[in-house]
A = this chain, B = another copy of it.
């Protein structure tokens, strides 16, 4: 096991009716900016619950944060927050609203051009405090210090990270997810699944517990994902799915182990160039990447085949291929196609995406050696 530091100060407030806790959770006296997306929270009652819980508080609003939150949009919120002297940000929505709000929180006190936080990895030392009412289980942003921001003008979608953007609290009420479109639930299941994969599917370092904890997440997702989709108002299924998505990327299973993240980095670029939903890029790229890297990920692939899919007999190559096929079949079973061509991505994509990484000089994977050639091969296999 590698040395590690684990520190996750997010307060999770979980369960039905917990939005009412907002009054107690948001620090008093601060002027609040509530951020949200396209307005689904107005239809499903979440907006009204938040307003009721914060009645009498100084509360401004900023709606319209889009999926894959856009730099230009977020900078409008930054200007508003600076002008109005906002002291607390409350993100109400899914991972995009939350990621966007983490960027807003960082950009408000930032000296210089905030895009540098993402593009030049300038460290974020301070941020306006933020909290969250989560309405979509998927990204884990509610319990981590990560965010991914897009800038369509330059065709970029890039992550940043800072302990300063850990939410002070995150409210997770599974009932807020009842009205989600099935597509968003499906994407979330795949996203959580691949988050686990990025932290597990590398090479063994004797991290016995982290491996078991990762497998625990997969076994739970296999059980509750399809049930949550089939029965949108099944509280137990929705609650377990929500908690799985949070735990899949709250840094716990990733402590002391090597991590990959190539699927995500390639996927972000596919989203930036072609507009695919994040989860859908992962469903196509992850299996292709596993096949491409099967030799180097061999030991972990065999363990995954055994413990998650029960594949313990026959030649090792068959077990590995079997586990990758089971993974694809699982993604399709929750309604997410596993080929880029299913989404209309054309044969020019691999070269185009690879060129982007070439220009940046960015290499990927747990060995940091997947370059444009490998990225292109993986994308070709994912077409």
Query: A-side interface residues toward B, CB under 8 Å?
Result: 1-18, 205-210, 212-213, 215-217, 219-220, 223-224, 236-237, 239-240, 243-244, 247, 252, 255-256
Contact = CB atoms under 8 A, between A and B. Distances in A.
Contact of A240 (B2, B14, B206, B215): B206
Contacts of A17: 3
Contacts of A3: 14-18
A255 B207 contact: no
A207 B6 contact: no
Contact of A216 (B5, B11, B213): B213
Given A7-B11, A213-B216, 13 more contacts: A3-B15, A3-B18, A5-B11, A5-B13, A14-B256, A208-B223, A209-B217, A209-B224, A209-B240, A209-B244, A213-B213, A239-B256, A252-B252
Given A208-B240, A212-B216, A5 B12 contact: yes
A219 B209 CA distance: 8
Contacts of A10: 7
A14 B5 CA distance: 6
A65 to B, nearest CB: 27
B5 A8 contact: no
B220 A212 contact: yes
Nearest to A216: B212
A239 B16 contact: no
A19 to B, nearest CB: 12
A175 to B, nearest CB: 11
Contacts of A256: 14-15, 239, 243
A209 B4 contact: no
A3 B209 CA distance: 26
B14 A209 contact: no
A202 to B, nearest CB: 16
Contacts of A239: 1, 206, 256
